[in-house]
Amino acid sequence: MNKISKGLLGSIFIFLAGCSPNPSNGDATTPYFAENGFGEGVAVVQHPAGEHVNGITYVAYQGPNEDPYVAAYNHQNGTWNGPFQAGTSILGKDPTKKIDSHGKPTMIIDDEGYIHIFYGGHGGDKLLHGDNSLGGHHSGENRHAVSLNPYDITSWRDLNNVPPFGTYNQAIKMDNGDIYLFYRHGAHRSDWVYQKSVDNGLTFAKPVSFLKSKRRDDDIGSDSWYASVSKGLNDEIVIGFDYHYCWDRGAPRNNRGGHSTERKNLYFAKFDTKNNIWSNVTGEALQLPITKDVADEKALAVNTGEMWTFNGMTKVDASGMPHINAYIGEDIGWQIGGPKHASYFAWNGEGWVGDVKNGLPIGRGDFLVDGESVRFLLSGIDPKTNKTKVGWWESQNSGQSFTRGDVLLEFGDFKVAPGDEILTRPKSLSNLDSPGSAASAFIKNAHPDARMIIAEKPDGSEWRRMYLVGDNGPVVRLKDPD
């Protein structure tokens, strides 16, 4: 059924061939465009994972051996191209180590049409990369690959122009073509940084720290962060982030003997890239890097108290007002029981307005906002049926309450094997879309027919089926003849 292709990088891999235009009802199709997704495949935190330009949607995901793969869909004639391997990660090559998935690719297309992906990093390796001046190490090597030709996904080269320590890559292209790359510069106890390119990604300026990791005053842990960035209006970038209590092993508040997923609060900042000014929601200047004390004083959007957080996307509406979504609950990430809520907050010019309990379900995805209309496209497990559903959740009152809209895709039964930690832990919020499904953020400049990438892990399989889902459901692909 599948054809075999060999790309420039010399790696042989299996892919589904491009289909003929406008499949008829008699053609055999699949609702997924690839079936070699691996690990999580995609995640909201690494974004964007795809872009629509000139009538073609380009998508990236993690494939075999945790390497990055890229495919493309032509909306005019209904054909798929690829997927092609776009780089080689140092993650995923040791069969004795568990799947990492922190190296999933992030994609951006520059003004000349060259396709860039950033992939493979989870903090770097001290033996391979030396000291990390902005934090610690874990594994992997952050890499930057670019297509050899504009809008061509068949051949790639590594540029080796970003530090190896990055993870959680998030890329933004401004209206003037400047590219900003945001990421955590190392393992948990590391600064979050950004790098700027003014020459279509051929070179990047040195990393600039914007969130500071340092020892806590009580000396039983370190300040750490998780951030989500997106383009604001005009020359602005907006950043939402939460605080990670990175306790020392054996610290009084850490009863697990090691790394804890405890996070608290939601914060907001904005970056005027034209004037190189950082500020809070009211325009008060923020000096970089932002420390925990400064964040609490000037950038706090939501104080969650004893409730834990798992931050989602942050963006602005057409008037420039910021919106933040997050998951808030008890002991998020480890405790299978306990209430968890998908929360949404918006700045109304005077304060942050929202409710932890608004009817929005737990799921992974992204949102659109247009005035009082807020629409989430989420992938999550329906507790009534144990099936994964991908669909819209809609609000007409600025996110104060939500109701279910159209379901675009449904598959599988979510099954948990008793005593199997690999399957039971994903039921917690930190991995809530594994093994059932994983979701990307919205495709950049998304076509309505192709808004989001969904990765399904069928029961018993080590591979994921990759879907491109839009308002009419998944974009189908012709099967190759047997």
Question: What is the spatial distance between Cα 97 and Cα 101, in angstroms, rounded to a whole number?
Answer: 12
Question: What is the spatial distance between Cα 35 and Cα 18, in angstroms, rounded to a whole number?
Answer: 14
Are 118 and 49 within 8 A, CB to CB? no
Question: What is the spatial distance between Cα 294 and Cα 286, in angstroms, rounded to a whole number?
Answer: 8
- Identity of the amino acid at 116: H
Q: Which of 279, 352, 266, 348 has the alpha carbon at shortest distance from 309?
A: 266
CA angle 423, 104, 265 (to 5 degrees): 75
Peptide bond into 23 cis (omega under 30): no
Tokens of 428: 């917690």
**Is 102 marked active-site?**
yes
Question: What is the spatial distance between Cα 280 and Cα 300, in angstroms, rounded to a whole number?
Answer: 9
Question: What is the spatial distance between Cα 392 and Cα 377, in angstroms, rounded to a whole number?
Answer: 5
Question: What is the spatial distance between Cα 220 and Cα 311, in angstroms, rounded to a whole number?
Answer: 24
Which of 32, 119, 168, 267 is catalytic? The answer is 168
Q: What is the dihedral of CA 479, 60, 187, 239, to 10 degrees?
A: -130
Question: What is the spatial distance between Cα 426 and Cα 259, in angstroms, rounded to a whole number?
Answer: 17
Q: Which of 241, 236, 229, 268 has the alpha carbon at shortest distance from 106?
A: 229
Helices (H), 154-194: none
**Is 168 marked active-site?**
yes
Are 360 and 376 within 8 A, CB to CB? yes
* Residue 215: other Cβ atoms inside 10 A: 12
Are 103 and 89 within 8 A, CB to CB? yes
Q: How far is CA 135 from CA 185, 223, 451, in A?
A: 7, 11, 35
For the chain, the maximum distance between any two Cα atoms, rounded to a whole number of angstroms, is 68
Q: Which of 16, 19, 20, 71 has the alpha carbon at shortest distance from 42?
A: 71
Q: How far is CA 174 from CA 56, 197, 335, in A?
A: 20, 11, 40
Which of 32, 52, 61, 102 is catalytic? The answer is 102
CA 451 to chain centre: 14
Tokens of 89: 């990660």
Cβ within 8 Å of residue 303, ≥6 positions away: 265
- Identity of the amino acid at 423: L
Q: Would you name the residues annotated as active-site residues?
A: 102, 168
